[in-house]
A = this chain, B = another copy of it.
Amino acid sequence: MSESVLIVGAGNGLSASFARLCHSNGMRVMLAARNIDKLAALAKETDASVVACDASDPGDVERMFVNADESIGTPDIVVYNPSTSARGPVSEIDKNAVRDALLITCYGGFLVVQEAAKRMLARGTGSLLLTGASASVKGFANSSSFAMGKFGLRGLAQSSARELAPRGIHVAHFVIDGVIRCQGSDGGNDGKLDPDAIAQSYLDIHRQHRSAWTWEAELRPWVENF
């Protein structure tokens, strides 16, 4: 029986690379996004199911997992990517946009972890891979809402790792510390992260033996200041 993967927040970039890598490794793939219009080509290329889902909506997330139950079964891997933010001075940014950012970036991560954990715990295995950013570990000026969401998601990841690892679920958080290059561009001499390279590290960590799990890894271009 082949493995399966659910990618929440699918689009271009990392999620597309990871979908292709999983597909080429024989996994069944499911793609979820708020707007699924853009996913047709990727879904075709990776033989993927597609489901529309606002990750900050509890009902949507529950329906997405019921849909997964039917189409790919309990996923072996669930990836959580979505984030938004309201950029600008903390004294000026829109209150509603900050709230939405927190709900999508962090609360949505919880909703997905919860539904995935229910299923993975019943089976006793699975990997939950949460996508962070530089802002997960460093709060930058004029970026408070992004820091709130990404720090919060990291807290979820660390708490869930402590809780779920001893029950067989591998939770890993990735600090993507740089700009991901667009598919087809040259990445400026590798000064931007190649999404295929990120995807390979996601798969490497999924493949780790349970006696030697990583809960967090940062990834950055060789020339990136940090």
Contact A211 B190 (CB under 8 A): yes
Q: Which residues of B contact A196 (CB under 8 A)?
A: 209
Binary interface encoding of chain A residues 132-168 relative to chain B, with 1 for a CB under 8 A from any of its CBs, else 0: 0001001111111111111111111111111111101
Q: Which residues of B contact A138 (CB under 8 A)?
A: 158
Does A99 count as interface, using CB distance less than 8 angstroms?
Answer: yes
Contact B147 A159 (CB under 8 A): yes
Q: Which of B98, B99, B113, B211 contacts A90 (CB 8 A)?
A: B113
Q: A214-B219, A219-B214 are in contact. Are A159 and B143 (CB under 8 A)?
A: yes
Interface size of A by CB at 8 A reads 83
Contact B155 A147 (CB under 8 A): yes
Report the bound CA distance from A201 to B163 in whole Å. 23
- Give A188-226 interface residues, CB cut-off 8 Å to B: 190-194, 196-198, 200-201, 204, 208-226
Contact B106 A148 (CB under 8 A): yes
Does A181 count as interface, using CB distance less than 8 angstroms?
Answer: yes
Q: Which of B113, B141, B151, B204 contacts A162 (CB 8 A)?
A: B141
Report the bound CA distance from A208 to B135 in whole Å. 23
Contact A208 B201 (CB under 8 A): yes
Does A117 count as interface, using CB distance less than 8 angstroms?
Answer: yes
Contact A213 B209 (CB under 8 A): no
CB distance from A14 to the nearest CB of B (A): 10
- Give A15-73 interface residues, CB cut-off 8 Å to B: 58
Add 10 more A-B contacts to A162-B226, A194-B209, A198-B212 (CB < 8 A): A90-B156, A90-B163, A99-B107, A107-B148, A140-B159, A148-B155, A191-B211, A201-B208, A210-B222, A213-B221
